[in-house]
Amino acid sequence: MNLKRIGSWAIFSFAVLYFLLPLVGTIEFSLRARRGVYSFDAYRSVLEDSQFQQTLAYSVILSIATVILGVLIVAPTAFWVRLKMPRLRPVVEFITLLPLVIPPIIIVFGYIRLFNTSSILPLTGSARGTDFLLAAGYATLALPYMYRAIDTGLRAIDVRTLTEAAQSLGAGWVTVLARVILPNIAVAILSGAFLTFAIVIGEYVIAALLNRPAFGPYMVWMGSNRAYEPAALAVIAFSMTWASMGVIQFLARRTRFTKV
């Protein structure tokens, strides 16, 4: 074993230590709720907390709404740009990258001032309106990932032939999109959806500033009021992120084999 490999192993071991310890530490801490023995008490108290159930359900529903909104906005455009207006591609790509450039706190700041009760679009005036605004904010955050996923999916299929075949059978544009294109890029949409879910589920800043009862603000509230429950919440949140990412990896591997 030469010096280079020893160095590599040393760096790698350090990295493993740094990245594993917080995970191990969180799990260990979350089991400490009962004095002297390890127990699942913290998890029990979290899972039985009606606030936990309500905020998590709220965030799950909101992330589903976000995915639907995102697909409705991105899929037709990505399809149309690929099929009819390739000239627009740089513009669309630039816009989809903007949410990575502008911090979310700026975007929500703009929402609060722009859609307040005295504006022409008073979305923050009602709970439903604010929910919609939150979903719109999340769809904006997810725009870069959603667009990438769907555009990659479209690249893998023959959009033009499929569209022409469907049209020659009498299909209109909506039918082409909903019954021919979307089913063919379902895997791409799903991986975009799970990435969106992973981003949205524990998001704090936008939900807190729009004052909605989402999972992120609930976690922060627990963080400043409880000792062991936050660690249990972190384990639960990490598991959800890992599960979403696992699904994405699985989907990516499947497409590698089914792609032409």
- Compute the C-alpha angle 231/232/237, nearest 5°: 95
Please say which residue, 242 or 260, places its beta carbon nearer to other proteins: 242
Enter the tokens of residue 100: 């990575």
| Cα 77 to Cα 93: distance, rounded to the nearest angstrom | 11
- Give min distance, CB of 222 to other proteins, in A: 9
SS3 state of residue 171? coil
229 or 260: whose CB is closer to other proteins?
Answer: 229
Q: What is the C-alpha to C-alpha distance for residues 86 and 182, in angstroms, rounded to an integer?
A: 20
Cβ of residue 165: shortest distance to other proteins, in angstroms? 19
Rounded least distance, CB 152 to other proteins, Å: 15
Contact 51, 218 (CB under 8 A): yes
Let me know: does 196 contact 146? Beta carbons within 8 Å: yes
Task: Write the single-letter amino acid at 211.
Answer: N
- Closer residue to other proteins in complex, CB, 107/162: 107
- Identity of the amino acid at 124: T
Report the nearest approach of other proteins to the CB of residue 146 (Å): 11
Between 95 and 165, name the residue whose CB sits nearer to other proteins: 95
Residue 252 beta carbon to other proteins: minimum distance, rounded to whole angstroms: 10
Cβ proximity to other proteins: between 188 and 198 the closer is 198
Cβ neighbours, 10 Å, residue 176: 21
Question: Are 133 and 124 in contact, with CB atoms under 8 Å apart?
Answer: yes
Do residues 137 and 104 touch, judged by C-beta distance below 8 A?
yes
H helices, E strands: number in the chain: 13, 0
Shortest Cβ 178–other proteins spacing (Å): 14
For the bound state, the minimum distance from the C-beta of residue 53 to other proteins, rounded and expressed in Å, comes to 18
Cα distance between residue 23 and residue 15, in whole Å: 13
Considering the complex, state which of residue 7 and residue 122 has its C-beta at the smaller distance from other proteins: 7
Specify the residue, 21 or 47, whose C-beta has the smaller distance to other proteins.
Answer: 21
Q: Angle CA(126)–CA(132)–CA(137) in degrees, nearest 5?
A: 125
